[in-house]
Structures are given as structure tokens and as C-alpha cells.
A and B are shown apart, each in its own frame.
Chain A
């Protein structure tokens, strides 16, 4: 993708009196001819026509991101830092919650599973590393993998937790799981009433407009 990034000057206002608005732009046209006009609130067709005739570009009722001072930026970074720490804690809590549901013979592995390795676990597995292309993991119980999977997964437990793994081949209780449903965070895959339900946990909306 190729893109350009540049800054423009924005003139933001609300129209109370249309005549006054026009008069203002007639007199200060030279000052604002390169600005983007942002109208908050209503605007009539008459005003639209007026702006067009003046070759002024406008937007209506939009929250543009504003320029911020260094101090505000630093504050924002701090907030994001705290937020990511919270998300991390929530992820840990989520794993902890689910690991308490891991009951039958929990195996914990933290080594990387390389191509050609076949791991068969009778019981539950908590894997804290990646599974490379050409490796196979199968469990009779529940399964949590905290990093990317590029190999094959065969899980016959009542739930699994996986991150987004577009190259993986995942079979859950004999049914192939559509990897496109796995989002870029931990996803809980459960079997409920003979249906596979995928829930991305720790969902968080990112709000750009402040």
C-alpha cells in the first residue's frame, strides 16, 4: 500500500446566522481559502452552494483528531501503557481461570514445537511457545496455546484457547475450525450443544477520536 500523509488547516465553526457566515467568508476569503471548513451542526443547501461557489471544501459533523501538545501526548502514552498492562493482567486472569478448568493430567510445555514433531497428550496441555509448520499436537483433553500455530492441532477436549493462526490446521472434536474466525488475540473455542463457539476474549475497541 502506498499512501501520503500531510497536515491541513481546519476552520471549525457552527452556523448560527447564515448571512453573518457568508459575510465573514466574503471578507476573510483570502485567509481561509486553503483551509478545510468543518461545520458542526446543521447547514442548509444554500450554504453548501455558497461554499462550492467559493471553491471551499467542507466537512460536516466530524470529530477530527486534534493536534496535541507533548505533555498531552506523554499523558496518552502513559494511559496506553497502563491499558496494555491491564489487558495483560486480564489475559493472565483469563488463562488462570481456564487453567483451573484444566484438570485431567495437565502438561505444561514451553519449548518450541518444531517441524516433524508429533506430540500426543493424554489429558490437558498448556503450551507457551509456537507450533511450527509440519508439527502436530493432539490432546484428548483441553488445550491452551499462547503463541502462533502453523502446524496441525487435534483437540478433543471441551475447550481450547488459541491466538490468530491463519496457517494452522485445527480440528476440534473431529470438526475443522475455520481459522479466519480466530482474531488477533486469545480466542476461546468451546463446544456448546454440539456447536463450536469461538469467542475472542479481551475484546477492546480502539477509539481514535478523542
Chain B
């Protein structure tokens, strides 16, 4: 039986889908069998970021409606044989989701995979609730800015009240990813510090990801940034994936610009 992890945020555009793609691939590269599921029905993105857009034949809704079986709909990644992908429907909208069918789909996936990662839609409507309902754990992605924190706080509140696990008296694991940290801005006091964010949200930190221009290009090309060993964001995702697989990896402080000394030396010669 695998673990089901929902990647949520509250606010849109903070990097949920990028995080899902990279963590899914990172877990697969750690040798664990992993499936990533796009729950953002009607706004399918994950296929593009994984570089699998032209291979989608059947989607999740068709599987739930019995029009296709799970084996037909699962797409195997070219990068890692351990990574599979289940696409969202681009033509339907979120109202097609039904609690019982979602539960069936997720329990089928849990049978075959060690990790089931669900990419949640932004916002807190029905699509979000279906994503979190049967999750064992949630990864909350935030950016170091107040609106993202407040929306994440709201999303955690809903997670705590709507999750099937909580209703049974168990606890949903909650992990925080702080995405798009700009060290210079944190040092200058313009960006929220991770300590402050943790105090507000009061959940466990699983990783901090520095801002990296390479992420956009990586998404456009369909090659998740984790494959770029030189990228600072890619390295951060690799560390988080390792932690999810049970490895002990120390937290790296990405809120200090290591270019500081170099800049100072350059400054002398100006």
C-alpha cells in the first residue's frame, strides 16, 4: 500500500504543478515506484511540464467513468521507468468528480504504487476538496509573500476539516515547501523569512526552494528542473524528494546569498 500525497497551495501560480512534477520524478529517481495524477480537471498542465503532452490518450475522468481501464490511461515516463503519469481531462470541468469514484481510483493507484502524488487545482472549490479528501499527507507550497501565506493557511484549515483521515480521528501529515526564495530580498528584509512563515502556518518544513530562472525554460521544454544537476532549484527538489523517501538530508539555508563575497571582490575592482 502506497502513500497518497496531495500537493496544495490555496493561491494559484506558486509552483504546485512544478513541485509535483519534480518531486514525482525525484522520488522515481530514488528507485521508488511513483505515479503523479493531475487533478486540475479542465486546466491540464502537468503533462506539458513532464514533457508527455503528446502521449495522452485516455484521461482520469475516462478511467473513473469506466470508458478506459487504468493500465491504458497510465503513461510511463521516458526519463525514469519508475514514474507514471495520469492526465486530467482538458474538456470536462471539476463538477464531474464524484467522491466515491475518486476514492476508488485512489485506492486502485495505492495498490500498484509506493507514492501517489496528486496535483491539486488552485483555490478551495470542489476540485481541491476531492484532491485532499483521500490523501494521507499534504505538501503545502507557498511563496514568501503574505497573500500566498494567508491562502495556504485557509487551505490547511479546510484540509483539517474535510480530510477523510481527520474524520476518522487520524491525522493528515502536513509538510511545507517555501518556493521561489530570493536570498538577497530575504537579507534585505523585503521578503518574508521562513521562520515567520513557519510561525504563522505552524506545520513541518520539508524544504526551501530558491528562485531559479531555469525553472521556466525547463517547464517549457518538458524537462523538469530536477534533471539539471547544476540548477539550485533542481538540487533543492532533489533534497526534498530524498527526504520524502526517508533519507536524512540536512536543511540547506537558501536564504543567504553565497554570491555575497564574490560580489564584494568584484566591487573592489570596479
Contact = CB atoms under 8 A, between A and B. Distances in A.
Contact of A117 (B146, B150, B157): B157
A115 B154 contact: yes
A116 B158 CA distance: 9
A134 B160 CA distance: 17
B115 to A, nearest CB: 27
Contacts of A150: 200
Interface in A94-122: 112, 114-117
B204 to A, nearest CB: 14
Nearest to B147: A133
B153 to A, nearest CB: 4
Interface in A137-177: 150
A59 to B, nearest CB: 34
A58 B55 CA distance: 83
Interface string B28-58: 0000000000000000000000000000000
A182 B158 CA distance: 31
A112 B150 contact: no
B154 A134 contact: yes
Contacts of A114: 153-154, 156-157, 160
Task: Give chain A's interface residue range (CB within 8 Å of chain B).
Answer: 10 to 19
Contacts of B154: 114-116, 134
A132 interface: yes
B110 to A, nearest CB: 28
Contacts of B69: none
A115 B158 CA distance: 10
B11 to A, nearest CB: 11
A145 B149 CA distance: 22
Contacts of B257: none
B103 interface: no
Given A114-B157, A117-B157, A134 B202 contact: no
A117 B155 CA distance: 11
B114 interface: no
B146 A133 contact: yes
Contacts of A117: 157
A115 B151 contact: yes
Nearest to B159: A114
B200 A132 contact: yes
Contacts of A134: 150, 153-154
B134 to A, nearest CB: 22
A134 B146 CA distance: 11
A130 B202 CA distance: 10
B150 A133 contact: yes
A133 B151 CA distance: 10
Contacts of A132: 150, 153, 200
Interface in B154-184: 154, 156-158, 160
A133 B157 CA distance: 12
Contacts of B158: 116
B122 to A, nearest CB: 15
List the 8 closest A-B pairs by CB distance, nearest first: A114-B157, A115-B153, A116-B154, A115-B154, A114-B153, A133-B150, A115-B150, A132-B153
29 contacts: A112-B202, A114-B153, A114-B154, A114-B156, A114-B157, A114-B160, A115-B150, A115-B151, A115-B153, A115-B154, A115-B157, A116-B153, A116-B154, A116-B157, A116-B158, A117-B157, A130-B200, A132-B150, A132-B153, A132-B200, A133-B146, A133-B149, A133-B150, A133-B153, A133-B200, A134-B150, A134-B153, A134-B154, A150-B200
Interface of B: 146, 149-151, 153-154, 156-158, 160, 200, 202
Given A114-B160, A116-B158, 10 more contacts: A114-B153, A115-B151, A115-B153, A116-B153, A132-B153, A132-B200, A133-B146, A133-B150, A133-B200, A134-B150
